[in-house]
């Protein structure tokens, strides 16, 4: 095999230029490639397309799903070729019509799903199921009828009056026209937001409609609650008045007893301070009190005399002394 370095550079250059040309062609035609340019192609016949152009949107239920690829004349009809995203569902009786997208006259192709199943790829929507934006012949016929019915002298007088008004107020008139033009431009620039708002409102109304029974029940319960509150309005009023009176009397009581309560509170503070200082002694007394109470009860539990045992006494004097202390304790 011939090494790459020894090959003819002219041949390599031609092949490289051809490959680059093919890549550039593929980049410009990427939307038509089977994998990169994903989408299904359909056709629709129209008697009139109005201002519809190649590249205009294709919408289903107001949602953009594709674009118009080609517009061509097929006999006495106009054949519109469009491509939509894969997975878009519409039935075999689907129709199409051309609608105005903005106030300035921009249009789009609207697909109206109808019928069962799925319209096969590459199908053509016939003229019977399409609606043109307007029919030129019908428009001129209607114009002829309208002009015949016009009152020419009255129309001339109206135009003269309008001309006089415009001549007297040129700046205000131009300002009004400019305001209308700016409004149209702003509405056209906000077309997507307005469409999103309308779709969201449709969803909200759908949710409210599905919750109709719950809303009716809620309103009925609210009415019952408000009626109950209204029936008990007098009771609530009396309760509030009584509460206010109690508050007033409590305030007067606090003010009247303030002088008497302060010394008592001061003494209570002294007592609590003393108890806090002797907290350890009180704890010890409470700990030893059960044993003392048990011995004391055993000594005095045999009647009007006491019975106890004095162990470890050294002499009769010691016993006498303990007895005297016990009698003294009992008498205390």
CA distance 152 to 174: 27
Mean pLDDT, rounded, for 282-293: 73
Mean pLDDT, rounded, for 60-70: 87
Here the tokens at position 162 are: 């309008």
pLDDT of residue 234: 79
pLDDT of residue 318: 58
pLDDT of residue 196: 82
Q: Which of 104-118, 199-213, 228-242, 308-322 has the lowest mean pLDDT?
A: 308-322
- Is the pLDDT at 31 greater than 60, yes or no? no
* CA nearest neighbour of 93 among 65, 118, 64: 118
CA distance 131 to 229: 59
- Is the pLDDT at 48 greater than 70, yes or no? yes
* CA nearest neighbour of 44 among 21, 70, 65: 70
pTM: 0.34
What percent of the chain clears pLDDT 90, i.e. is strictly above it?
1
- Is the pLDDT at 35 greater than 50, yes or no? no
Mean pLDDT, rounded, for 297-308: 59
CA distance 136 to 124: 23
Here the tokens at position 236 are: 């609530």
pLDDT of residue 309: 56
- Is the pLDDT at 57 greater than 80, yes or no? yes
CA distance 89 to 111: 11
| 74 strand-pairing partners | 77
- Is the pLDDT at 313 greater than 50, yes or no? no
pLDDT of residue 133: 77
Average pLDDT, the chain: 75
pLDDT of residue 292: 67
- 219-225: list long-range contacts, CB under 8 Å, 24+ apart: none
pLDDT of residue 38: 63
């Amino acid at each position: 095999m011939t090494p790459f370095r020894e090959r003819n550079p002219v041949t390599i250059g031609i092949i490289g230029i051809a490959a680059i040309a093919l890549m550039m062609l593929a980049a410009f035609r990427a939307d038509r490639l089977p994998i990169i340019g994903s989408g299904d192609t359909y056709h629709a016949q129209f008697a009139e397309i109005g201002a519809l152009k190649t590249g205009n949107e294709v919408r289903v239920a107001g949602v953009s799903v594709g674009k118009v690829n080609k517009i061509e004349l097929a006999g006495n009809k106009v054949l519109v070729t469009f491509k939509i995203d894969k997975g878009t569902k519409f039935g075999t009786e689907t129709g199409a019509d051309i609608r105005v997208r903005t106030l300035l006259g921009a249009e789009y192709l609207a697909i109206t799903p109808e019928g069962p199943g799925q319209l096969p790829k590459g199908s053509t929507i016939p003229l019977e199921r399409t609606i043109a934006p307007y029919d030129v012949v019908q428009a001129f016929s209607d114009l002829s009828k309208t002009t015949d019915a016009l009152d020419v002298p009255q129309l001339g007088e109206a135009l003269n009056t309008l001309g006089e008004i415009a001549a007297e107020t040129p700046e205000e008139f131009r300002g009004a026209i400019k305001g209308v033009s700016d409004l149209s431009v702003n509405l056209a620039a906000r077309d997507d937001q307005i469409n999103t708002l309308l779709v969201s409102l449709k969803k909200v109304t759908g949710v409210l409609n599905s919750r109709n029974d719950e809303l009716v029940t809620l309103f009925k319960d609210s009415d019952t609650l408000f009626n109950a509150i209204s029936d008990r309005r007098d009771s609530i009023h009396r309760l509030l008045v009584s509460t206010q009176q109690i508050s007033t009397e409590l305030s007067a009581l606090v003010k009247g007893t303030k002088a008497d309560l302060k010394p008592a509170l001061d003494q209570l503070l002294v007592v609590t301070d003393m108890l806090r200082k002797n907290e350890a002694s009180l704890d010890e007394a409470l700990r030893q009190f059960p044993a003392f109470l048990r011995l004391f009860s055993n000594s005095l539990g045999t009647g009007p005399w006491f019975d106890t045992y004095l162990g470890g006494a050294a002499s009769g004097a010691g016993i006498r002394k303990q007895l005297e202390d016990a009698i003294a304790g009992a008498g205390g």
